[in-house]
């Protein structure tokens, strides 16, 4: 992650998910926690909910050098396992509760910006309606928040 953020001048961090669907809340949980910990004018946090495509205009207006998407993604890992991936790769097409595949969204954003993109995905355990986030995902989310907070404060 340090390598990805090298040379960053403006970072947009997009949390994706639904906070009433258990582990699907991973991305929005991380972004909300980061908002509390990081106060840096070079970093913008967006809680995109289930519709990151609705934030395209905002992302473009921020003119970021780097965009980080955080989401629960099914990739056959252990619950809570974290993966860093190219959102235009296979994981950008992975099962998601969201309408537009991340791959398409990033493809469009690349045409509109000169930003670099990364997906931080976590393998969910449970995504049923009205269930709590699993202990595995909450633990991974909290560790990720600490790591990202340190990196983003230094940009």
> pLDDT for 62-83, tens place per residue?
999 999 999 999 888 999 999 9
Lowest mean pLDDT among 6-20, 85-99, 130-144: 85-99
Domain of 33, in residue numbers: 2-153
Instruction: Give the model's pLDDT for residue 92.
Output: 56
C-beta neighbour count of 60 within 10 angstroms: 16
CATH code, domain with 76? 3.40.50.1450
CA angle 140, 142, 145 (to 5 degrees): 110
Q: What are the tokens at 25?
A: 């809340």
- Name which residue leads in pLDDT, 98 or 58: 58
In the chain, the number of structural domains is 1
> pLDDT for 27-37, tens place per residue?
999 999 999 99
Bridge-based pairing state of the strands 66-72 and 116-122: parallel
The answer to whether 141 and 33 have CB atoms below 8 angstroms apart is yes
């Amino acid at each position: 992650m340090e390598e990805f953020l090298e040379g960053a001048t403006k970072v947009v961090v997009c949390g994706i998910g639904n906070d009433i669907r258990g582990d699907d809340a991973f991305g929005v949980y991380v972004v909300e926690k980061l908002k509390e910990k990081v106060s840096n004018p070079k970093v913008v946090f967006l809680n995109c909910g289930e519709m990151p495509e609705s934030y395209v205009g905002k992302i473009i207006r921020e003119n970021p050098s780097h965009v980080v998407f955080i989401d629960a993604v099914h990739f056959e890992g252990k619950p809570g396992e974290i993966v860093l991936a190219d959102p235009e790769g296979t994981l950008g097409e992975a099962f998601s509760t969201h309408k537009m595949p991340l791959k398409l969204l990033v493809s469009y954003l690349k045409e509109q910006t000169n930003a670099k993109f990364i997906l931080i995905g976590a393998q969910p355990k449970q995504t049923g309606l009205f269930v709590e986030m699993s202990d595995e995902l909450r633990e991974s989310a909290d560790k990720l928040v600490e790591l990202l907070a340190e990196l983003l404060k230094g940009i």
